[in-house]
Structure 1
Amino acid sequence: MVIGLEVHAELSTRSKLFCGCSTAFGAPPNTQVCPVCLGLPGVLPVLNERAVELAVKAGLALHCQIAPFSKFDRKNYFYPDLPKAYQISQYDLPLCRDGYVEIAAPEGVRRIGIVRVHLEEEAGKSVHSGESIVGSEYSNIDYNRVGIPLIEIVSQPDLRSPEEARAYLEQLRTTLRYIGVSDVRMEEGSLRCDANISLRPRGSDELGTKTEVKNMNSFRAVARALAFEARRQAELLRRGERVVQETRAWSEARQETVSMRSKEEADDYRYFPEPDLAPLVLDPGQVERWRAELPELPDARRARFVREYGLPPYDAGVLTGSRIVADFFEAVAARVGDAKLASNWVMGEVLRHAPTEGGEVEAIPVSVQGLAELLELVKRGTVSQPAAKEVLEEMVHSGRPAGEIVRERGLEQISDRGALEAVVDRVIHENPKPAADVRAGEGKAIGFLMGQVMKQTQGKANPQQVRALLEERLRP
């Protein structure tokens, strides 16, 4: 398999690329438009500086070279969702080029090359009457998206499996979200992917005939579409038939790709320089200021978490998968002074309660101070781990501080040696057979006795102290 991906990401600007219309998602159809984005006669585009900044930051985060001189071009094609009959894009002189993304692969870290990252405007949205463009009876057009700023990220054909393609997309999404250039929500169309795939004999350097696959609205759909298309092409080649160069659409309902249009020749978009926009000349000093504003990137932060906090690589990967989560963890760990304890609670209980959208954490359900207070109670042995989980549940729903909930519910853990000795002695007296088993060296029986102590103390006994007392009393 030889796979290359073309990813479009909508930039997080409040206005469109060449006009002042809003980019907010979810407005009624055709309410966020103006003469500029509708391409009416006599209008001129004005470049959105914020979009340039975000595109450059994306290029820097993806290890690209930033062009000091680039230009915009008209990409000419006729389609109902493109009211001007051309798209303002970049062709031979893109803003960013020659970058890479690193992904984890069975043989180690693999570097996937990026050919270019360029700025362009979004087209409109076709709303089809059927499940896809194939077989639809009619289509409506919503022009709200027309003119929203995009970056197109074009990879080298370096990917060799659907799993690698998914890993590349996930790493790309994490990076773009980390630096705040895009919300990268596939379900809202702010991240879209087209895939080119071909097959070649193992060991050969000659590329096979490729097909382009569109209409994939999730990472899982990308992986499934590529797997299906590889099987389809392999069957054709085994039968001695020819793979036709074409554009195909992924049908989620049918779990297969279907032909959209033939692509025997390369598309001729008749590119020429955009006459209404001057070339884009960047001040090197401004590029460096934008570089300095970038946060620590996920890969570097993951390595630092392992190095500084002594976390396992898996834990570090989970915590740095979202900038919101990573920032929260570091703040809690600094307050509590125990990175592993903070890591376990953030990865487990906190993320279990965290609201998500499209698989991404949108917010942390408790404050840094609130979780730190609870973990301090756990460290001091004031509350047990099970009780602390109950307290966190209440904190999430009510916002009340941990100490107040613990006192109100009587969840303080019993750590007083004298009080525990009395309960332990009573349990040993009431359960002579398990006690004798422990004295005889049967380690499992101590768990039963611990359970009886916890039952008699309503779960409030310090389990470490209970075990120590039982072992002390029942030592052979």
Structure 2
Amino acid sequence: MAGLPARQLERCLLRGRLTRRIQFSVSGCPQCSPLLAFRHDRFSSSTTTKAPPPSNTSPIPLRKQLKDEAKARKAKAAQKKASGEAPSATNRGQTVPGWELTVGIEIHAQLNTAHKLFSAAKATDSHGEGREPNDPANVAFFDVALPGAQPIFQPATLIPAIRAALALECTIQPLSRFDRKHYFHWDQPAGYQITQYYEPFARGGFVELFARDGIAPEDGEKVRIDIVQVQMEQDTAKTVAQPGDVHWLDFNRVGMPLIEIITAPQLHHPATAAAFVRKVQQLLVAVDACTSGMEAGGLRADVNVSVRRTANEAGTAEDKRLGVRTEIKNLNSFRAVEDAIIAERNRQIAAITAAENDGHPSPASVIVSETRGWTPPASAGDEGKTHRLRGKEGEVDYRYMPDPDLGPVVIDEGLVRYLGLTLGVSPDAELGDLVKSYGLSQMDAAAMMALDGGGRAQYYYDVVEAVEQRLGVEKTVEVRAFIANWVLHQLGRLTSERNAGDDAGANSLEMTPEGTCRIPVDSLADILAYRYQGRITANVAKELLFAVFRGDVTDKEGSSVTDAIEAGSLWFDEISPDEYTALAEEVIADEPKTLKLFASPAALKKYPLGKLQFLVGKLLRAGPEGRTDPQNAEKAVRAAIERWVKAQ
């Protein structure tokens, strides 16, 4: 179609008007023809070209077409599985029959320091927020490799690095050295990166993953991943792509202190690999070692992927060798880690299987050791794919050599011992305590720790302490579980349901990692203490919480939660136990058929909870408005039913 001015195109698409005749040529695309014919028929007016005559065959409804396509895909996948063919790109299973996946991971985490690794320039976060690109305060002469500039190691960067290594159960080496890793790219102005290849500062750690961490079911309840080494190195510049194949460089990030965590090739399932990266992030955040997590760019992962046929019973030497590995660079989310591994696994299996079917003498050789990038799915139906970036460099290509401008790093054993004593509680220990001492489920405990960078958990601890002081109780699991429900779920509903049309600022809890929130601890503690004591109803408590969230009720004098309850006469004047009993007897007296369900033998195996709630609802409607509590009403109805059953 010839180009149209925007105004004419708007009139055509939105108003069905054409200012000049338009001819569509769709003869080569049978899928587009009905779509364009439909649009032409819908939008054309009497002055435009006439719609094509209706076809004799009725159009297939879109819903039926999609269902038929889904059935066809399932049938095709089942046929391939039965015939032993390679998996399709849509195979998202954790395993592929007849194949073994092996994954090793390299995690790059930015250390939480005030200065860069080899210069006194100020450090920024991973995005350089708050600073203009190439700000002189953030870029020293050495960072941009000006002639004559020398690296000056900043000893303070060792503190978060050692804390991170200790959290990963590593052994700190008393003596470590820096090496030069040579490669030429625009984001590395010196032509080499300073790292620790031969003598890193930490070795021999491990991370234990449990089922609650989200590992693949095939790994069972627990899996241990060994860490080969942890090394310090400098970050590269930030590349900003521009139109016309132009790239701008921001050197604020170059020279930022990183640690690289290198695992052994012991991961065999994509979900477990993603769980590992997530667990490492939790550990680093818990010991305050890194600036931020994956979602903010402070942590990136490279994954090395290889596949091989599962060893047969004979187990030949060739069967036991790992396949050729490819490296996927710069994955910046947990979902990307899992998806990229699945896509690359499927690609390698498909390539090897195709080579076998073609009679290739060495099918495994079709996989080339290379560095690949990850293109995420463009839409919900897309799968995403990996793509070649460059050939894989090896140790010889990088020409590693000791850095002649930097001396060895000597780490005192006393410093390591002191930092080990100040690490605090590990995430696993904290999760176990939340389950055992606070009455949370493992799922709720994990969510509490993960939300708001750990800020939700700290806020919860502060609210628990404040409520226990108001109630005069201490370490009561029932109270703590009650508070957790509100901190997790009711606070979440404030931002998900009641402010759907508000801007992002008005629809945020403003939770900080330190546990400060838009809803003050004292305000929520007052609401929950009154609710737990039964002095206000659940609906009143929710309305008060929303009023505090809006800012209508604050903890200032004259506008506290208690003042709001007094002003609105919101105190709960509940009926007495005797009144509950009388109402319950009155309700069940009108339901003889329903009562027989509770007296039957079947009721002993499966209690008719639906009928129970029916009776509870009748009691709540029969009682005085605003003076009955659903939980106490249920207790009264249960007691009345038990008395009736015994009397039969």
Q: Give 1:108's match in structure 2, choosing from 214, 221, 243.
A: 221
Instruction: Decide whether aligned partners of structure 1 residues 215 and 313 sit closer, same or farther in structure 2, where only a CA change above 3 A counts.
Output: closer
Equivalent in the alignment of 2:546:
393
| CA positional deviation for 1:469 | 5.0
Structure 2 vs 1, CA of residues 264 and 409 (structure 1 numbering), >3 Å: closer, same or farther? same
How many residues in Structure 1 have an aligned counterpart in Structure 2? 466
- In the alignment, does 2:317 pair up with 1:186? no
For residue 405 of structure 1, report the CA deviation from its aligned partner: 3.1
Report the CA distance between 1:295 and its aligned residue.
Answer: 1.6
How far 1:320 sits from its partner (Å)? Answer: 3.3
CA distance in 1, matches of 2:389, 2:335: 21
Work out whether 1:250 is the aligned partner of 2:374.
yes
8 Å Cα contact 1:2/1:160 also seen in 2: yes
Give the aligned partner of residue 530 of structure 2. Answer: 377
Which residue of structure 2 aligns with residue 326 of structure 1?
Answer: 457
Q: How big is each residue's C-alpha offset from its partner over 1:382-436, in whole Å with a ceiling of 9 and x where there is no partner?
A: 12223222222222332344323333333322324289669959x96xx899656
Q: How do 1:128-167 and structure 2 match up within 5 A?
A: 128-129=241-242, 137-167=245-275
Q: In structure 1, what is the Cα distance between the partners aligned to 2:169 and 2:103?
A: 21
Q: Equivalent residues in 2 for 1:54-65 (5 A)?
A: 54-65=160-171
Q: Sequence identity, in percent?
A: 31
Within 2, Cα distance between the matches of 1:264 and 1:182?
A: 28
Rg larger in structure:
2
1:253 Cα offset (Å): 5.1
1:102–1:405 distance in 2 versus 1, CA, 3 Å = farther
Compute the TM-score of the two structures, normalised by the length of structure 1.
Answer: 0.88
TM-superposition CA deviations, 1:349-391 (whole Å, max 9, x none): 2355585899999854434333332221122101222322222
Higher strand share: 1
* Alignment counterpart, residue 573 of structure 2, candidates 401, 410, 414: 414
Aligned position for 2:618: 449
Q: Distance in 1 between matches of 2:493 and 2:421?
A: 34
Alpha-carbon distance between aligned partners in 1 of 2:274 and 2:592, rounded to the nearest angstrom: 57
- Conservation of the 8 A alpha-carbon contact between 1:413 and 1:462: no
By how many angstroms is 1:89 displaced?
Answer: 1.2
CA gap 1:275/1:341 in 2 versus in 1, 3 angstroms: same
TM-score, normalization by structure 2: 0.66
Where does the alignment leave 5 or more consecutive residues of structure 2 unmatched? 1-100, 312-318, 356-362, 379-383, 469-473, 496-507, 599-610
Structure 1 runs not aligned, ≥5 long: 131-135
- Does 2:344 correspond to 1:344? no
In structure 2, relative to structure 1, the CA distance for the partners of 1:362 and 1:380 (3 Å cut) is: closer
Is the Cα contact below 8 Å between 2:234 and 2:257 reproduced in 1? yes
Could you tell me how far apart the structure 2 residues matched to 1:378 and 1:267 are?
Answer: 69
Higher relative contact order at CA 8 Å, sep ≥6: structure 1 or structure 2?
Answer: 1
Which has the higher mean CA deviation after the structures are superposed, 184-193 or 210-219?
Answer: 184-193
- The separation in 1 between residues aligned to 2:509 and 2:564, in whole angstroms, is 26
Tell me what 1:5 maps to: 105
Task: Please state how far the C-alpha of 1:118 moved relative to its aligned partner.
Answer: 1.0
> Secondary structure of 1:5's partner?
strand
Q: What secondary structure, in the 3-state scheme, does the structure 2 residue paired with 1:200 have?
A: strand
Distance 1:33 1:390 in 2: 51
1:195-225 Cα shifts (integer Å, max 9, x gaps): 1000012244310001111242221112111
User: What CA RMSD, in Å, does the superposition of the two structures yield over aligned residues?
Assistant: 3.1
> Which amino acid is 1:194 matched to?
D
**Structure 1 pair 439/173, CA: closer, same or farther in 2 (3 Å)?**
same
Whether the 8 Å contact between 1:248 and 1:261 is mirrored in structure 2 is yes
The question of whether the paired residues in 2 share the 8 Å contact of 1:350 and 1:364 is answered with no
Structure 2 residue identity aligned to 1:103: L
Q: Deviations over 1:228-261 (max 9, x none)?
A: 1100000011112411111111112551111111
Q: What is the identity, as a one-letter code, of the residue corresponding to 2:488?
A: M
Shift of 1:437: 5.6
Structure 1 residue aligned with 2:633, among 466, 469, 472?
466
Letter of the structure 2 residue corresponding to residue 122 of structure 1: D
Return the offset for 1:33: 1.4
Distance 2:341 2:170 in 1: 27
Alignment CA distance shift 1:62-1:417 (3 Å): same
Matched, 1:175 2:286: no
Give me the whole-angstrom Cα distance separating, in 2, the residues matched to 1:434 and 1:180: 64
Residues 249, 277 of structure 1: alpha-carbon distance in 2 compared, 3 angstrom cutoff: same
Q: CA deviation at 1:94?
A: 0.4
CA distance 1:150–1:249, shift in 2 (3 Å)? same
